[in-house]
Every structure is written in structure tokens, then in C-alpha cells.
Amino acid sequence: MTTDSDRRLIIVSNRAPYSFRKVGDKVQPVRSIGGLVTALEPAVMARNGAWIAWGTSSKSRRPHSEVKLPPNKPSYTFHPILLSSDEVSDFYYGFSNSVLWPLCHYFTGNLDVQIKERRAYARVNGRFANLALQIASPEDFIWVQDYQLGLVPGMIRQKLPDARVGFFWHIPFPDVDVFSILPGARGFIEAMLGADRIGFHVPNYVESFLKTVGRLTSHEVDPDRGRVIFKGREVQVGAWPISVDYKTINDRAGLASIQKKALKIRETFSAERIILGVDRLDYTKGILERLFAIDRFFLKHPKYRGKVSFIQVAAPSRSQVGSYRDLKAEIERIVGEINGKYARLGWTPVHYFYKGFSFDEVLILYLAADVALVTPLIDGMNLVAKEYVSARLDNTGVLILSERTGAAQELKEAIPVNPYDVEGTVDAISRALRMSRREQRQRMIALRNRIKNWDIFRWSDAFLSGQPASFDR
């Protein structure tokens, strides 16, 4: 019997595995950075599959038809979907990131529902589905990724009833009372149920989804087995927490060039101890609340002034959306206030970088940081926490982790915090800086073993085989 792991694999995602840049008369592929590409490219290569995604928008850089990838070992075919500027505005910045993103992160006050954007979302999802149908056969396994493509499973099922389809939802899935705010919520849920297997990062999201199915539809739900009976088919719903490439991070962190640069960081920032935050600039990441805690920390613990510095990296994101521009301005204002209040000659309390860093640059910061302050207001998983742990070769360092992340359900040796509780976060920072080396090592060894034993490749293999993860490992 053919299992899904054995089938030819077709990935359907919003983000492409490669971007393309023009060098002279040639167009060169550049591999995208991120866990999804790291996890899925080996799987699609091994199965001589295909990858459908939004192609680069610049006419001078984009491929005009399918491309064999990767360039050094062509093993699968990339099929770009080319979006118009209106489609990018309405589908991506509009419905995907001004409706679905805030809704699923409980920021319902940020919703901006426009009928033309809702229609654009359906239309673009249809384009992805139609291209998948053109290149897929009933023997293939089509794996659709994330909230931007929530209607695609149902669209594929409608036209290819015998297809094998998986769907992974990478962001939080909210309570039914919140999700039901979405116009057309029932139809959206039933489109997701076009998949044979639906994955979320943690059991909480599975529970929320199944309750939503039970409340908004009349389909039979078996929460104990994680099953929904939809139009005579059994749909599997489970939790598969995404991870990171532990070995690559661990090995690269051990390079002499990386280690040498990490040692210079304290000298560069004139600090005995370093606290680190690394995020996309997004209102869900809790950067403002984190800065409030840093401000309060220096007020409450003046002995650390001149000795501890906080580094915040905020990678630019969705700057076309007004709420993101407003957040950027407010963060910069608060950083200025803190530095104006506490800075002294030769020492600055907060170093803020609004720019994208290369992975090696982030890795250097991971190695230099005594404390990682990972405090999103809510996050589907959060891979920064797992990257920090994977980089800690000497088994020292302390992870402070928001209990409102998916990662908190796995990384139980981290110091948990409520990101809305400023005083609690201040106490956690103080505790982390006072923690003995022995306790640091005990916690970090356990954390590193968890990630080593469930890395990014275990995640993709487990989903394709249909074997849900154990959260007691």
C-alpha cells in the first residue's frame, strides 16, 4: 500500500523557496532563508516533486516559467505564480494580513475587512489550486502551507476528488467565538476540510479547530481521535510542532570565525551581560511590552546600569500596512526615552536595529547573549527560541519564553512569562541574570536534547507519515 510518505510531493506555499536576481544577462536563484524551505526542500527533492509559490514580482528578476531547482542539483520543479500589484495589495497585504493574521492572533481591533480583498483572496487561491491541478496526478501528495492559502484544499478537492491533500496552518488557530467573526467562516472551515490531513503546531490549536468545526458546521467530530467526517471522508487533524535544523545551527555556531566575532560583541556594546530580542517587526511579537519591561528593569535594579545591555533586532515586515508603520514609530520613541533616561558615557542600555540580519549575524548574537528574551504576545510556534538553544554549544544561557507561544508547550525548561505582565518579566530577567552556571546547564542540556530529537526534518517526516508528535518527549 502506498503511503503519503512514498508519493510524489507537491508543495503549495505563499513564499517561494528561491528568489531570483539578475546578474548581467543571467537570472540567478537565491535560496530563501527560513525553516519551511529547510524542512521541505529535501523532502520534495527526494520525491522528484514540484513547488508552487508566489514568484518574485520584479520583471527583471523573476522566472517566466517553471525552473529546475536547486541549481547545483536539479531535483524538483518550481512553478511561480506571478501576482499583479493589485493582487499583492488585496490578497497579501489585504485579506491575508489585515484580516486573517490579526484575527488569528486575537487582535480583532486591527481587522479591516474589504469585500474586494476577500474576493481577491479567493481568486488568488483559485490560481494556486488550478496550477496544482495542472501538474498533479491522483497518486501525488499535495501539501498546502498556511493561512494565505486556506481555500486551496477545498478547491483542489472539488475538481480532483481522489487527490491526497495535506494542509498545515502555521499560525495560532483562535477560539470559535473569535474565528466566527470572519465573514464566510463556515465556508472557510469547509475549504480547509478539503484536505485529508490538517496540521497545527500544538494541541491547543487542534482543539480550537475541532470546536470550530463542531460549532459552525454539522459535520461529525471525534476530538479524542482527532478526526472529522466530511462528505464521507475521514479528515485527520493533529499537532506537529515545527522545529529548526539543529545540526546545521549547532555546527555553524562552532566555527572559529563565528566564535571569534561573538567574543567581540560585549566589547562592541560595552556590556558585561547581554539580553537579546530577535523578531520581525510585528504587533504580535510584544516588542513594545518587552521595552516597557526593560525600562522597568533598569529602574528597579539600578545596579545593572552600565553592566547590562539589551539588543533588539526588528526585521522590517509589511511596512505597507499602516499599523506596522505606527508600531515602528512607537518602538523608536520608547527606545529613545529609555536611552535618554539611563545612558551614560561609554554605555547604552538599548541597542535597536531595524534591519534584516544575515543568519550568521544572528548566530553571533545568539552566542554572545546571556539571556534570550522571547516574549511574543501570541505566536504559533516561535523558532527564535529554538535557534537560540541550538546555538548554545557550551550549554549556558537562559531562555525567557512567553507562555503564549507554541514553543512554550515543548520548551518546559525555559523561564515562562506572561508577556503582558511587565513586573513578572522584570523578575524573570533578574532571575535569569542571577541563575547559577549549574542551573543554566541543567536547563539548557534538556532544552537542546528536546530540539535535537525533534528537529525540522522529524517535523516534515512525521506530518507526511501521519504520526502526531508526543509532547512528553
Whether 242 has a pLDDT exceeding 60, the answer reads: yes
Mean of the per-residue pLDDT values for the chain? 94
CA distances (Å), 170 to each of 11, 325, 404, in order? 15, 24, 15
Q: In this predicted model, which residue has the larger pLDDT, 321 or 109?
A: 109
* 289: enclosing H helix or E strand: helix 287-300
Nearest C-alpha neighbor of 188 from the set 89, 109, 102, 95: 95
Which pLDDT value is given to residue 472? Answer: 67
Mean pLDDT of 196-221: 98
Q: Are residues 238 and 262 in the same domain?
A: no
Answer yes or no: is pLDDT of 377 > 80: yes
Q: Mean pLDDT across the stretch 222-246?
A: 96
Evaluate whether residue 471 is within a structural domain. Answer: no
pLDDT at res. 49: 95
Residues 168 and 270 in one domain: no
For residue 473, the model assigns a pLDDT of 59
In the chain, what percentage of residues exceed pLDDT 70? 97
Q: Per-residue pLDDT for 35 more than 80? A: no
Tell me what the mean pLDDT of segment 93-111 comes to: 95
* pLDDT at position 56: 63
Least confident of 10-24, 53-67, 146-160: 53-67
Q: How confident is the model at residue 196 (pLDDT cuts 50, 70, 90)?
A: very high
Q: Is the pLDDT of residue 57 over 50?
A: no
**Domain identity same for 235 and 334:** no
Residue with the bigger pLDDT between 168 and 1: it is 168
Same domain? 31 vs 128: yes
Q: What is the mean pLDDT of residues 93-110?
A: 96
- Domain span at residue 26? 4-242+459-465
Grade residue 1 by pLDDT with cuts at 50, 70 and 90: low
Domain count, the chain: 2
Supply 146's cell numbers. Answer: 498556511
C-beta of residue 19 within 8 angstroms of C-beta of residue 67: no
The pLDDT score that the predictor gives to residue 58 is 46
pLDDT for residue 60: 40
pLDDT at 2 over 70: no
Domain assignment present for residue 470? The answer is no
The residue to which cell 494542509 is assigned: 167
Residue of higher predicted confidence among 20 and 459:
459
Long-range contacts of 380-384 (CB under 8 A, 24+ apart): 380/170, 380/171, 380/172, 380/201, 380/205, 380/405, 380/406, 381/170, 381/201, 381/202, 381/241, 381/242, 381/405, 381/406, 381/407, 382/406, 382/407, 383/35, 383/242, 383/243, 383/244, 383/407, 384/278, 384/279
Segment 455-460 shows an average pLDDT of 93
Are 100 and 159 in the same domain? yes
Task: Give the residue numbers marked as catalytic.
Answer: 170, 379
Quick one: 202 and 288 in the same domain?
Answer: no
Taking residues 16-23, report their average pLDDT. 82
Report, as an integer, the average pLDDT of 307-320: 92
Specify if 118 maps to a domain: yes
Q: What value, to the nearest 5°, has the Cα angle with vertex 200 and ends 92 and 77? A: 60
In percent, the amount of the chain with pLDDT more than 90 equals 81
What confidence tens digit (pLDDT) does each residue in 393-445 have? 999 999 999 999 999 999 999 999 999 999 999 999 999 999 999 999 999 99
Q: Is the pLDDT of residue 25 over 80?
A: no
Per-residue pLDDT, 91 = 97
Task: Output the domain CATH number for residue 354.
Answer: 3.40.50.2000
By DSSP bridging, strand 76-81 and strand 398-402 are unpaired
Residue 338 lies in a domain: yes
Domain contains 194: yes
Could you give the CA distance from residue 349 to residue 334 in angstroms, rounded to a whole number? 12
Q: Alpha helix locations (H) across 371-473?
A: 383-391, 422-434, 437-453, 456-465
- Is 473 inside any structural domain? no
Whether the Cβ atoms of residue 213 and residue 185 lie closer than 8 Å to each other: no
Taking residues 68-88, what's their average pLDDT?
92
Are 261 and 125 found together in one domain?
Answer: no
pLDDT digits (tens, 9 = 90+) for 339-359: 999 999 999 999 999 998 889
In terms of domains, do 224 and 283 share one?
Answer: no
Is the pLDDT assigned to residue 59 strictly greater than 60?
A: no
